[in-house]
Amino acid sequence: MSKDTFYRDTFVLTLSNLAMGVLRFMFSIILSRQLGPEGVGLYGLIMPIYDLFCCLVCGGIIAAISRETSAYLGTSRFEDLHKTVNASLVFIVLWSIFIAGIMFILSPIICNYIIKDPRAIRSLWIASPAIVFIAISCVYKGYFYGVSQVITPSVIDILEKAVRMVILVGVIYYLSLKTIENTVAATYLSFTIGEIISFVFLYIFYKRSIKKIPYTNSVRTDNSFQLLFNILIIAVPLAINGFLTTALQSVSTLLVPIRLVAAGFDHIGALEIIGKFNGMALAIVYFPLVIVVSLSTVIIPDISKKISQKDFSNINSRVNEVIKICFMLGVSTVIICYVCPNLLGEVFFDRSDLGSFIKIASLAAPFMYCHYCTYSILNGIGKQKVILLSSIATALIELVLIFILIGIPSINIYGYGISLIVTSIIGLLINLYYIGQVIELSFPIWEILILVLLTVLVYLVTTIISSIIPNTFIIPKIITIIVVAFSLFFVSSFLIRKSS
């Protein structure tokens, strides 16, 4: 894959992810208004359990299949590509049905003894079938990313998010749902229907695409069991990593309301403040992450293909570019969140009490964005064990920090933001250390100085804009600040690519 193709695919995927990000952001706004802070808090407690079962079923599948199919395509091993996808599908269908059944059966126990809120049982029951369709869809998405057909899964993902949002609003209004239990269950119903629709379209387009790839091999083909083993040897460490870290993060998430109660909140008050911080403030900070996700998705097959072609020089420059670009995206996010935090809360969530939450959460952005992309780089260079150890280490640190900090009355939910900052920095440093053993990382002083000066300049300009434009023109004011702040990202990205 050439350099131009990499950024073209990233751009296409970013447009898709931006569209999905907008829909996801709108979805979080709808949730906040339909469910209220308490409902958003309950929704947020169920999601880690759902994610945990998803990790068990399909953790690492997309990355593994995209990496293997990309390598097979680059070396003309077309028959191996066909057999890899088919073997993966058979395995994933059987495995996902088994795990979905376990989730359905254990839902009452999970809700009564882990979530400790019986109102979540119906939501977990409804979400169980979605796991099967998510797993199969992951195989198809891995194929499309591996053969550089990123537009297909991107458009389908946009469709799925839009359908999910329409279904949620329609069900709540049509059935006149009033209780938190029913509205949260409707949210997970929209998830399940959306995943079924996504699977149907992925299957149709996969069948059309796979016909264009010949059933021939440049070398002697491997048997299906060996090809499946090649997938699993990549996917299993990633799945274990995903499962363990998600399990630890689930414990952290479920620990938050307990520690908030210890800090002096009642249960409903704890759910409300969790809804404000996790469901609203973090939604704003996570929004630009769609660009990082695009880079991270495309870089895995890109590195894999370049390794198969022994193009190590371009691997070094590509990795350095991506790390720096992700960091500067985070810096732009910090500027926006620090210049107008209260306005962001008012415009998107119609709340005036989110400013302090948005500010502290945004401080993690530069390190969090970089940290996220380094996992894909490690995956691309075959460091799955490092990913596992790094993820577990950061998750354990987060768990300890949440337990200690959130229980302090004067810190409470801000401890979540502090833990996010600390774990992002530690995880990033660990990952960079191991990446540096394989790839020559380059951070020239002159480049750092230019980026610092640009950052200071943009921050001053946005601050002046914020003081000049009155709050009566709130929408134009926010748009202007966002455009100016993200000009830092685009200019710095241009300079970083030129210097490489």
3-class DSSP string for the chain = CCHHHHHHHHHHHHHHHHHHHHHHHHHHHHHHHHHHHHHHHHHHHHHHHHHHHHHHHHCCHHHHHHHHHHHHHHCCEHHHHHHHHHHHHHHHHHHHHHHHHHHHHHHHHHHHHHHCCHHHHHHHHHHCCHHHHHHHHHHHHHHHHHCCCCHHHHHHHHHHHHHHHHHHHHHHHHCCCCCHHHHHHHHHHHHHHHHHHHHHHHHHHHHHHHCCCCCCECCCCCCHHHHHHHHHHHHHHHHHHHHHHHHHHHHHHHHHHHHHHHCCCCHHHHHHHHHHHHHHHHHHHHCCHHHHHHHHHHHHHHHHHHHHCCCHHHHHHHHHHHHHHHHHHHHHHHHHHHHCHHHHHHHHHCCCCCHHHHHHHHCCHHHHHHHHHHHHHHHHCCCHHHHHHHHHHHHHHHHHHHHHHCCCCCCCCHHHHHHHHHHHHHHHHHHHHHHHCCCCCCCCHHHHHHHHHHHHHHHHHHHHHHHHCCHHHHHHHHHHHHHHHHHHHHHHHHHHHHHC
Give yes or no for a contact between 204 and 156, defined as CB atoms under 8 angstroms apart: no
Rounded (5°) CA angle 344-345-347: 65
For residue 153, what are the CA distances in angstroms to 55, 137, 139, 444?
20, 9, 11, 38
Give the alpha-carbon dihedral of 290, 292, 294, 300, to 10 degrees.
-150
Determine the pLDDT at residue 1.
Answer: 41
The mean pLDDT value for 232-238 works out to: 81
Tokens in use for 251? 């414990």
15-24, 40-49, 196-205, 376-385 — which is least confidently predicted?
15-24
Separation of CA 11 from chain center: 17
pTM for this one?
0.71
DSSP 217: B
| pLDDT tens track for 105-160 | 999 998 888 888 888 899 999 999 999 999 999 999 988 888 878 788 878 888 88
With bands split at pLDDT 50, 70 and 90, how would you rate the model's confidence at 309?
low
With bands split at pLDDT 50, 70 and 90, how would you rate the model's confidence at 3?
very low
φ/ψ region of 223 (left if φ > 0, alpha if ψ in -120 to 50, else beta) reads beta
Mean pLDDT, the chain, as a whole number?
Answer: 84
The mean pLDDT value for 36-41 works out to: 76
Give CA–CA dist 137/150, Å, rounded: 14
| pLDDT tens track for 177-200 | 678 888 888 888 888 998 999 999
DSSP run (H or E) holding 268: helix 267-274
| pLDDT tens track for 395-453 | 889 889 988 998 888 888 899 899 999 999 999 999 999 988 888 888 888 888 998 99
Say yes or no to pLDDT of 477 above 50.
yes
Between 130-146 and 78-110, two packed helices, what is the crossing angle to 10 degrees?
150
| pLDDT tens track for 163-178 | 887 887 787 777 776 7
The mean pLDDT value for 253-278 works out to: 83
Residue type, 24: R
Say yes or no to pLDDT of 6 above 70.
no
Closest CA to 336 of 471, 491, 489: 489
With bands split at pLDDT 50, 70 and 90, how would you rate the model's confidence at 303?
confident
74-83, 187-196, 280-289 — which is least confidently predicted?
74-83
The mean pLDDT value for 68-73 works out to: 82
Terminal CA-to-CA distance of the chain, rounded, Å?
17
